Structure 1
Amino acid sequence: MSNEMKCLWTPSEDFIANANITEYRKWLKSTRGLSFHDYDALWQWSVDELETFWESIWEYFEITSHTPYTRILSSMEMPGAKWFEGSTLNYAEHVFKGYSDAYPAIIFKSEKHPMTEISWGELKNQVAKVAAYLKSIGVEPGDRIVSYMPNIPQTIIAFLAVSSIGAVWSSCSPDFGTNSVVDRFKQISPKVMFAVDGYNYGGKLFDRTGEVAHMESEMPSLEKVIFLPYANEQAQPEQIKNAIFWQDAIDNDATDIPFAAVPFDHPLWTVYSSGTTGIPKAITHGHGGALIEHLKFQTLHSNNKPGDRFFWFSTTGWVMWNIAMSSLLTGTTAVIYDGNPAYPNIDAMWQYAEESKMTTFGTSAAFLIACMKEGVKPNKFYLENLKCLGSTGPPLPPEGFDWVYDSIKNDIWLTSVSGGTDIVGGFVGGCPILPVYSGEIQCRLLGSDVHAFDEEGRSVINEVGEMVIKKPMPSMPIYFWNDENNKRYRESYFDTYAGYWRHGDWMKISDIGTVQILGRSDSTLNRSGIRIGTSEVYRAVDKVEAVADSLIVSLELPGGEYYMPLFVTIRDGGELTDAIVNEIRSTIRADFSPRHVPDEIIRIDAVPYTMSGKKMETPIKKILLGAPVDKAANKDAMQNGDAIDFFVDFAKNVQEKYFS
């Protein structure tokens, strides 16, 4: 297989010599007497000698612990493995540990605001003031603090303040509808909420003060809303009962940050699953696990260091926000943007790359494909500082790789990353000392014991299989919030292979260690790399009186795009009119977000159900992707076997239109 691969980039000798991972290998040799002839050997050691590897990461990065750990790993049991027991530390403390005043901490731009820089001193001062205010109103370690703010400096400031005092952070982007946000935040009973008045997207202002007031009324645990007039600087929180202006909250004399020393597995943040099977799962990660994973990822795999400028386009409702923000741990400047990345035109982000002197430009594969199809030529901008292009979300197809090297830079290091919300990091991704092959992710990441399992549960090479992780990682969730006896946690990852984590992706590992991710193996919807739960769409569609029932799927198409059709039955056997279609679209958009709106709405006679009353999303998806009906579904195991016939016929149209 390796002989057929097209090599697009090979690191130069200087690039390899100056890579952070090269320094780490030198350190291993000088301190441990360990020498590895190539990356694959280093990776193999990192998973074979798991405790020794993570201990080396702890020592190499000189992690500050206020008490010593008593052991590295309690057991290999998943879930249940405990890391670095006895240690006490703080994620935010390490953000302010290795920076240089010679470089800005944050570079920010939005549709409305010109590019500005925030120094490390200013960042530290603002964090101190927010932390002081939170403590003054009684926020204690373990209290939950939520954010309904976009990707702006104040959101980073708020997160660092919350984590510095040991409170638990959680965030949703303000383009989420109120129901979607309440479904998430209400689970964790937040004490305080940071919120903006609105946001700008695509040249339009979206006022969210009414939504904030509604969320406050739906969450009785909320004691205070810290309100930031952002879209409209004159905005007033008149509808919000317990509001204080951001500026008033930080009007204090605090200059020092009171870092709370918390246990390794003390909750840092709660992020959320897509909500496919109901209310989104509240996935909680610990301070220590996120810290040690992000230090490894940002330094060894992303090759960031002081003086670099790291950008990854994201909203605050996507886990890439957490990962992008973690670049601060390396002293790197975090470059952030709020708004539509294609406004006022699709060149906007490439112009920002030139203006901000980005060294890493990260985005979704879908954005890169859109640029390719529009004929964008980023190389018309001055991108001399740009060393790395990152891609995540859906897999980037080979033609996307070719476009990057033809139209951006022929000497750029292209890294694709796959992992996600579950581990707030990556399982597979980039390595600065390895070549880049078209359509391939460079490697399995250090400490990630990733395998492709066939149907018999055997690890396979050069064959498609289920992505499985055989050994624990520090950044795996410490628990799901309000999940008694880890029931949902176990069902999410450990029901298929006892003791092994099944991630839900199809993958292929080559004989030279590169990886292909071939899409989700479950029924989660996907929009430009953003996971969307089917249940969220159903909850909105159910409000449309004319609709009796519905089913939605998302199909991965050639070229990294997606087709997301919604199938509906109409009450009393009626017709699907334009008015009903418009009502469905507007309801979904209002309740959740524009990303939830389907590409096409199609009338059917009946939604297929299993005997246990579950909508047959995954079998329908398989049929539409071309699988034989007898391989995708068993009519005898259905409540209404004839309902599947429509989809068999419809699949012919899908195959002809998108796959022929």
Structure 2
Amino acid sequence: MHVVVALVKCSSSARPSQLEIAEMTSGTGQTLSSAPTAGQLLWTPDSVRVERAQITKFLRWLERERRLIFTDYEDLWRWSVAESDCFWRAIWDYFGIFGDAPAEVVSGTDILKARWFLGARVNYAEHLLRHESVATSEEVALVYCSEVRPVATMTWSELGGQVRRLATRLRQIGVQPGDRVVSYMPNIPETAVAMLATVAIGAVWSSAAPEFGSKMVLERFGQLEPKVAFFADGYQFNGRVFDRRTEIVTIANGLSSLTTLIWLPYVGLERDVAIVPRVVEFADLLKGPEIPAAEFKYKRVPSDHPLWILFSSGTTGLPKAIAHGHAGMVAEHLKAMALHCDLGPGRRMFFYSTTGWMMWNAVMASLIVGAAAILYDGSPFHGGADALWRIADETGATVFGASPTLVQTMKKENVRPALTFDLRALDTIILGGAPSTPETFGWIYENVRQDLWVTSQSGGTELCSSLLAGTPALPVHAGELQVRALGIDVQVWNENGEEIFDDVGELVVAKPFPSAPLFFWGDAGDVRYHDSYFTTYSGIWRHGDLAKFNSRGGAYLYGRSDATLNRFGVRIGSAELYRVLEQIPEITDALVVCCEMPRGEFYMPLFVALGAGRQLDEDLKSRIVVRLRTDASPRHVPDEIHQAPAIPYTLTGKRMEVPVRKLIMGVPPERAASTDAMANPASLNWFVEFATRGRATRDTV
């Protein structure tokens, strides 16, 4: 297939130097006299930005090597999904993926059963570290800091050297390809080294954030039967040090499969813990002579060999243990980091995240195109609501990322980064984790800089990348996600399974894509995998987001269409709260929802039904909060707790989370729920009254 058309008219003049680029603006921003409206033009890329964009280089390669030219991004996207074999083969060749090349790009048309890059043998860590071979001795791979530790750096050779030594020692203590290695550590270089070393030898990585309670961690790691665990003694947050030794004992002793525990005294606590497996100090594993890159052998594995296991919580049962493959992640992250995030050598990516969120993996993926990853351990507001901008300044970030929820807090606190920090290196802001409002875009252009590419992107743990993405070669419109990600057939469907435009519907993926999960760990017959995404539309991936596409190819998100909770930009499952609440004897039942409110805010109330004669007093509220914070995480603590006479259920025994959420967001009762499908129709009346009372005092959608 040859499409003879052109995406952008690129300048033929000589490319300016990096210094000259830094001194130029990267586009034309619009002066705002008031809050922007949805779809309002805010920024247009100039010729310099288009010229140096990674997607421009890719287009020129397609024209030169494949004789393909495209009029606009939409044409490029349509080709990438219509001819997915050709597109992903082009990605493989353009980025020079090494290892055994695939004999077949994709086998099968069913998303769940399709297999990608058959015959290929690659290693993800080898690709993240391949820039070491061409980097200068001073070129930085990691930039890191914490609330108490100043900014420091690690060069590519230092990172590669530590990974090779640790990987070799892991092999020596018996870690084999396919063994699971887990981590309970903060967002620090040691965690990055541990992940890369694990993956380098073909073992399977999984991580939990240290603020997670032991019960929550065991629900995840208990599914995996890990052989080795990395543990840090604690972490710091908002000026406090949190001792996790008690949690570590509970977790380690609850994982009977563990043979070795690797201990990191990160906050300097004594290791006086009674742990079943043998304990090895992290620092001891890094001792020994340098291992030259030429002497180290990465374990190149088949495309169906699991790379890591990420956890995405549903509304019922244990968290979903999502396994991705090496080849699929290599291809997807090369595409996403270069073409949709515009990263490459000399650039630095900072996105506030913890190690329990897929955005940590995405930040680490910036290494795959030669960019540096910026790691921060601590509160996003330590020392003030402008803390993240201070870090962006001190680390020389060129790309800054955060959830819109964090930006809303900055706005409320009257943060003005442009007046306080030197952000001249910064040219890109990525918003992710929740829908971004026009006001969020407007605040950035008014208070950071006008000559920025602001891109709101959305995907999820399920693919560890984006479905809706961006490009610096196109204008930015307020509240709008610029484009559909290349190579992924993203559509919006109505309830009849028909593709729609300019109307709100379900976000779906209609064809196989290489970063889809290989499987859910322990999910015999892919039953839970199927039930999670393919029951609404047969064979079609329903992502669980409400969205709308407009005529220019942009998209708007309207929050979750299911009951998954979006808490401070991180999706968590209601089942996690229910399992904790079951341990509180006064509570007989519960229901929790999270509502997307105007101006990008979120409201998460918890409703509890109590035993006969019990009342929700301040003591019980306090105990609920403490239990959720301790056994789950601070993210699981609701905004409010209310006592309800009864929890509404469907005839099939499911809590009616989505209808209650709709009621609170202002949907009329007759549209929010069908009482004919309810086991206890009268129970909904209290929630209708609650929503009506709330609308009198709160803005709703």
What CA distance in whole angstroms lies between the structure 1 residues aligned with 2:350 and 2:417? 16
The equivalent residue for 1:68 is 101
Secondary structure of the structure 2 residue equivalent to 1:659: coil
1:351 aligns with 2:394: no
Among 226, 230, 233, the alignment partner of 1:190 is 226
What CA distance in whole angstroms lies between the structure 2 residues aligned with 1:372 and 1:565? 23
Deviation at 1:235, TM superposition (A): 2.6
What CA distance in whole angstroms lies between the structure 2 residues aligned with 1:354 and 1:78? 43
Secondary structure of the structure 2 residue equivalent to 1:117: strand
Among 63, 69, 85, the alignment partner of 1:35 is 69
Among 217, 240, 258, the alignment partner of 1:181 is 217
Secondary structure of the structure 2 residue equivalent to 1:573: coil
Deviation at 1:244, TM superposition (A): 1.1
Among 243, 247, 270, the alignment partner of 1:211 is 247
1:305 aligns with 2:324: no
Deviations 1:338-384 (A, max 9, x none): 00010011121111111111100011111111111111001021110
- Seen in structure 2, the aligned counterparts of structure 1 residues 30 and 308 have a Cα distance that, compared at 3 Å, is same
What CA distance in whole angstroms lies between the structure 1 residues aligned with 2:578 and 2:290? 48
Whether the aligned pair in 2 keeps the contact of 1:184 and 1:280 (CA below 8 Å) is yes
Amino acid at match of 1:60: Y
Secondary structure of the structure 2 residue equivalent to 1:187: coil
The equivalent residue for 1:486 is 526
Among 271, 286, 294, the alignment partner of 2:310 is 271
The equivalent residue for 1:573 is 613
What CA distance in whole angstroms lies between the structure 2 residues aligned with 1:134 and 1:219? 19
Deviation at 1:254, TM superposition (A): 5.2
Whether the aligned pair in 1 keeps the contact of 2:184 and 2:230 (CA below 8 Å) is yes
Whether the aligned pair in 1 keeps the contact of 2:111 and 2:513 (CA below 8 Å) is no
The equivalent residue for 1:557 is 597
Whether the aligned pair in 1 keeps the contact of 2:131 and 2:156 (CA below 8 Å) is no
1:250 aligns with 2:283: no
Among 463, 484, 488, the alignment partner of 1:444 is 484
Amino acid at match of 1:240: I
What CA distance in whole angstroms lies between the structure 1 residues aligned with 2:231 and 2:614? 43
Amino acid at match of 1:238: V
1:59 aligns with 2:65: no
What CA distance in whole angstroms lies between the structure 2 residues aligned with 1:54 and 1:469? 17
**Matches of residues 141-156 of structure 1 in structure 2 within 5 Å?**
141-156=177-192
1:21 aligns with 2:55: yes
Amino acid at match of 2:463: I
Among 693, 698, 701, the alignment partner of 1:653 is 693
Deviation at 1:394, TM superposition (A): 1.4
Among 641, 648, 651, the alignment partner of 2:681 is 641
Among 416, 420, 425, the alignment partner of 2:460 is 420
Deviations 1:459-498 (A, max 9, x none): 1111111001111111000000011111111111111111
Whether the aligned pair in 2 keeps the contact of 1:209 and 1:239 (CA below 8 Å) is no
**Matches of residues 521-600 of structure 1 in structure 2 within 5 Å?**
521-600=561-640
- Seen in structure 2, the aligned counterparts of structure 1 residues 29 and 639 have a Cα distance that, compared at 3 Å, is same
Deviations 1:281-309 (A, max 9, x none): 10000001111100000011111111101
Size of the aligned set, in residue pairs, is 656
Whether the aligned pair in 2 keeps the contact of 1:454 and 1:466 (CA below 8 Å) is yes
Secondary structure of the structure 1 residue equivalent to 2:323: strand
Secondary structure of the structure 2 residue equivalent to 1:121: helix
Deviation at 1:188, TM superposition (A): 0.9
Amino acid at match of 2:454: L
Indicate the larger mover: 95-104 or 330-339.
Answer: 95-104
Whether the aligned pair in 1 keeps the contact of 2:108 and 2:115 (CA below 8 Å) is yes
Whether the aligned pair in 1 keeps the contact of 2:185 and 2:209 (CA below 8 Å) is yes
**Matches of residues 109-124 of structure 1 in structure 2 within 5 Å?**
109-124=145-160
Deviation at 1:64, TM superposition (A): 0.2
Among 226, 235, 240, the alignment partner of 2:275 is 240
The equivalent residue for 1:296 is 335
1:87 aligns with 2:120: yes
Amino acid at match of 1:566: L
Secondary structure of the structure 2 residue equivalent to 1:105: strand
What CA distance in whole angstroms lies between the structure 2 residues aligned with 1:529 and 1:137? 38
Amino acid at match of 1:236: R
What CA distance in whole angstroms lies between the structure 2 residues aligned with 1:215 and 1:238? 12
Whether the aligned pair in 2 keeps the contact of 1:227 and 1:237 (CA below 8 Å) is no
Deviation at 1:238, TM superposition (A): 3.0
Deviation at 1:265, TM superposition (A): 2.2
Deviation at 1:4, TM superposition (A): 7.6
Deviation at 1:538, TM superposition (A): 1.0
Indicate the larger mover: 626-635 or 324-333.
Answer: 626-635
% identity of equivalent residues: 44
Secondary structure of the structure 2 residue equivalent to 1:296: helix
1:507 aligns with 2:547: yes
What CA distance in whole angstroms lies between the structure 2 residues aligned with 1:514 and 1:457? 21
Whether the aligned pair in 1 keeps the contact of 2:362 and 2:464 (CA below 8 Å) is yes
Indicate the larger mover: 357-366 or 566-575.
Answer: 566-575
Whether the aligned pair in 1 keeps the contact of 2:38 and 2:480 (CA below 8 Å) is no
What CA distance in whole angstroms lies between the structure 1 residues aligned with 2:557 and 2:547? 4
- Seen in structure 2, the aligned counterparts of structure 1 residues 482 and 4 have a Cα distance that, compared at 3 Å, is closer
Amino acid at match of 2:162: Q
Deviation at 1:632, TM superposition (A): 2.2
What CA distance in whole angstroms lies between the structure 1 residues aligned with 2:638 and 2:316? 18
Secondary structure of the structure 2 residue equivalent to 1:362: strand
| Aligned residues: CA RMSD | 1.3
What CA distance in whole angstroms lies between the structure 1 residues aligned with 2:250 and 2:627? 17
Indicate the larger mover: 497-506 or 536-545.
Answer: 536-545
- Seen in structure 2, the aligned counterparts of structure 1 residues 68 and 351 have a Cα distance that, compared at 3 Å, is closer
What CA distance in whole angstroms lies between the structure 2 residues aligned with 1:275 and 1:505? 14
Amino acid at match of 2:675: K
Deviation at 1:619, TM superposition (A): 1.4
The equivalent residue for 2:505 is 465
TM-score, L = length of structure 1: 0.98
- Listed as ranges, the gaps of 5+ residues in structure 2 are 1-36
Whether the aligned pair in 2 keeps the contact of 1:573 and 1:605 (CA below 8 Å) is no
Secondary structure of the structure 1 residue equivalent to 2:223: helix
Secondary structure of the structure 1 residue equivalent to 2:382: coil
Indicate the larger mover: 40-49 or 237-246.
Answer: 237-246
The equivalent residue for 2:474 is 434
Amino acid at match of 2:185: M
Secondary structure of the structure 2 residue equivalent to 1:84: strand
What CA distance in whole angstroms lies between the structure 2 residues aligned with 1:4 and 1:215? 47
Amino acid at match of 1:433: A
What CA distance in whole angstroms lies between the structure 2 residues aligned with 1:402 and 1:627? 28
What CA distance in whole angstroms lies between the structure 2 residues aligned with 1:436 and 1:53? 26
- Listed as ranges, the gaps of 5+ residues in structure 1 are none
**Matches of residues 101-140 of structure 1 in structure 2 within 5 Å?**
101=136, 102-140=138-176
TM-score, L = length of structure 2: 0.92
What CA distance in whole angstroms lies between the structure 2 residues aligned with 1:17 and 1:403? 27
Deviation at 1:638, TM superposition (A): 2.1
Deviation at 1:237, TM superposition (A): 4.8
Deviations 1:431-463 (A, max 9, x none): 010100001011101111111101211111111
